[in-house]
Chains A and B, each alone.
Chain A
């Protein structure tokens, strides 16, 4: 997969170049304004030929989050119109919940519904700050409190101030009791849909055991095998494959149509359900997904456009968070790194994330008015 390979090379580039680049100039450069006007107060980055990858340090403006924008392959030459754009692209944010009480105790959690620790709460709030300027129209979570709390705590930070409302469909009564009777209020709401299909992988007989007990009960080799395998289920539990099956199926049937309709989506879920989805988005192999580690509480951004998912790494967040992320480069693919990768083209006619940039502009204007 070309992007996977390029991430690899970029990572090694990052680790060598990072120290020199960090202090480099942070001037935002304006894109060639061939087809449309760009507001100079927005942060845009240089463009090159399509498919060249370039590493640009993300800058954070004084007042708001800045993140990369990308340009698509040359398509339309018309001035992009917001209403048209709405149906063309959508943002997808993935957040893995932070530390839970059993993480802290080193117990296999799986689908046992344990809450976040104080640290997990802070991670959720921090994640919220990073995505505070990215539009969100609908939220999907698992049916477990640690993911739901992560989503709700993150949304407290959101600039738009729309109110998340958890939908209840467990019974007719639950549905009718949670009905909202004001259209205006509904417009100011972000529906939150809990789905068991986004739950953590079910860990079967390991749920509640600590790692030591597990090694004693089943043997080190067996445990090692489970960790390395894609399709071997845990006793009375799921394999990663089984988890991926139900998570991806749910994503395809329920989430992708929303993105296709132009709705911006946030998914707050768990390590295994999210990497299953990422496997689908990035077309990873089984081997690749097994070695994929997602940082907790660091949101990942994808742009969905023309039936394609383009990974945009983690929104940087306020300046401090950017530096904090810089020091945590750990993994091959999903590092909490200050550098953001993107594709761009100098000949393009449209700006892939222009809509997001305009949204951010609107938020800035609104906050100035206050």
Chain B
């Protein structure tokens, strides 16, 4: 992908999601911890097991070529709704402001739309507005059996303290992984500034350039290109392999991190991505099959038949939900 050239911006630490989730599962699985190399791209290889493997029992070890759960997987993208600074018309970026009442309602509405689509794994940014969006959306999910659990790996203590000691409970949990790489684009010196003030200070054209250009960063901030680099790298390294295994994923994140990912999924050009606007609170559904991402638009809602006509697998899932809740 032309736009993702190097991973120099990315830390050389261990892949956080593998580390967190393998600890969370605490089963004797041989989940290899992928080491990151600074200078070039790393593809997810077949020998690496994804972090969720409900098919295998704890006594078996992961074979070299792991057994896929399914041939296809759903990927849901949700952009969080209105935040308190959106309402005040302030540049937010990576400042951690929460949702407004409207943003809460948007999250719940989004949840209703995806209430029939299976979710095995949730990725969010490290900002509360995305996390709240995910958690509020999941309160609407029709599969009441499973409960999202946010994984903590900020320290050994955090990991130990959040450990779950019941295997049955673990199996009924959806790991939620918070990743800064999915954060909103960092807006540098514009963070906290009023959009009008900024226009007065720097000029409307300059501001327009920062907001709409692909390469140009605001002072002390990120360009869309830089944001895309870290978001897409994270997606490729941590999320795609889950989808390849057959795990259904929900990503709750932000305008810029999500359109970066969409740029990757839909193979958009940099010009196309700068004019791409994502509606807030409207989930987008992709089906991952045969290593391809097929865009399926926005699920209409639980009452519409259309949502389960996306694929046979989704239709069957919906049927199972209906039966279990009948």
Chain A interface residues toward B at CB < 8 A: 101-102, 105, 107, 110-118, 121, 143-145, 148-149, 152-153, 155-156, 163-168, 170, 173-174, 177-182, 185-186, 192, 196, 199, 202, 204-210, 213
CB neighbours of B188 from chain A (8 A): 181
- Whether A114 pairs with B192 at a CB distance below 8 angstroms is no
**Residue in B126, B132, B162 whose beta carbon sits within 8 Å of that of A152 in the complex:** B132
CB neighbours of A177 from chain B (8 A): 93-94, 180, 183, 186
Q: A114-B149, A165-B96, A177-B94 are in contact. Are A209 and B139 (CB under 8 A)?
A: no
Pick the interface stretch among B56-64, B97-105, B231-239, B281-289: B97-105
- Whether B95 pairs with A178 at a CB distance below 8 angstroms is yes
**Residue in A112, A166, A199 whose beta carbon sits within 8 Å of that of B96 in the complex:** A166
Which residue of chain A lies nearest to B194 when distances are taken between CB atoms in the complex?
A182
- Whether A156 pairs with B162 at a CB distance below 8 angstroms is no
CB neighbours of A111 from chain B (8 A): 161-162
- Whether A179 pairs with B149 at a CB distance below 8 angstroms is no
- Whether A199 pairs with B161 at a CB distance below 8 angstroms is yes
Q: A145-B135, A181-B189 are in contact. Are A152 and B99 (CB under 8 A)?
A: yes
CB neighbours of B152 from chain A (8 A): 113, 143
Shortest Cβ distance from A327 into chain B, in angstroms?
A: 26
A196 to B161, CA, bound (A): 10
Shortest Cβ distance from B298 into chain A, in angstroms?
A: 23
A274 to B160, CA, bound (A): 22
Which residue of chain B lies nearest to A168 when distances are taken between CB atoms in the complex?
B96
Which residue of chain B lies nearest to A100 when distances are taken between CB atoms in the complex?
B147
A199 to B189, CA, bound (A): 34
A202 to B192, CA, bound (A): 37
- Whether B98 pairs with A152 at a CB distance below 8 angstroms is yes
Provide the main secondary structure of the chain B interface: mixed
Pick the interface stretch among B40-48, B82-90, B268-276: B82-90
Pick the interface stretch among B164-172, B242-250, B303-311: B164-172
Per-position binary interface string of chain B over residues 148-167, scored 1 when its CB falls under 8 Å from any chain A CB and 0 otherwise = 11111010011001111110
A209 to B167, CA, bound (A): 9
- Whether A180 pairs with B95 at a CB distance below 8 angstroms is yes
- Whether A207 pairs with B96 at a CB distance below 8 angstroms is no
- Whether B162 pairs with A113 at a CB distance below 8 angstroms is yes
- Whether A156 pairs with B100 at a CB distance below 8 angstroms is yes
Q: A116-B139, A177-B186, A196-B158 are in contact. Are A163 and B84 (CB under 8 A)?
A: yes
Q: A152-B132, A196-B158 are in contact. Are A180 and B191 (CB under 8 A)?
A: yes
A233 to B60, CA, bound (A): 34
- Whether A102 pairs with B165 at a CB distance below 8 angstroms is no
A–B Cβ pairs within 8 angstroms, 24 of them:
A105-B147, A111-B162, A114-B148, A115-B135, A115-B148, A121-B104, A121-B139, A145-B131, A152-B128, A155-B98, A156-B101, A163-B84, A163-B85, A163-B88, A164-B84, A164-B97, A166-B97, A177-B186, A178-B94, A182-B90, A186-B192, A196-B158, A207-B165, A209-B165
- Whether B164 pairs with A179 at a CB distance below 8 angstroms is no
CB neighbours of A179 from chain B (8 A): 95, 191
- Whether B104 pairs with A101 at a CB distance below 8 angstroms is no
Chain B interface residues toward A at CB < 8 A: 84-85, 88, 90, 93-101, 104, 126-128, 131-132, 135-136, 138-140, 147-152, 154, 157-158, 161-166, 169-170, 176, 180, 183, 186, 188-194, 197
Contacts A113-B150, A177-B94 known; 15 new A-B pairs at CB < 8 A: A112-B149, A112-B162, A115-B138, A115-B147, A121-B136, A121-B139, A143-B152, A174-B180, A182-B90, A182-B192, A182-B193, A185-B192, A186-B192, A196-B157, A205-B165
Shortest Cβ distance from B157 into chain A, in angstroms?
A: 8
Which residue of chain A lies nearest to B132 when distances are taken between CB atoms in the complex?
A149
A305 to B152, CA, bound (A): 38
- Whether A181 pairs with B191 at a CB distance below 8 angstroms is yes
CB neighbours of B85 from chain A (8 A): 163
Shortest Cβ distance from B118 into chain A, in angstroms?
A: 18
Q: A112-B164, A178-B94 are in contact. Are A170 and B154 (CB under 8 A)?
A: yes
CB neighbours of B99 from chain A (8 A): 152, 156
Q: A118-B139, A148-B128, A178-B94 are in contact. Are A213 and B162 (CB under 8 A)?
A: no
CB neighbours of A114 from chain B (8 A): 147-150
CB neighbours of A168 from chain B (8 A): 96, 126
- Whether A180 pairs with B192 at a CB distance below 8 angstroms is yes
CB neighbours of B193 from chain A (8 A): 181-182, 185
A205 to B163, CA, bound (A): 8
- Whether A116 pairs with B161 at a CB distance below 8 angstroms is no
A204 to B166, CA, bound (A): 11
Which of A143, A174, A179 gathers most chain B CB within 10 Å? A179
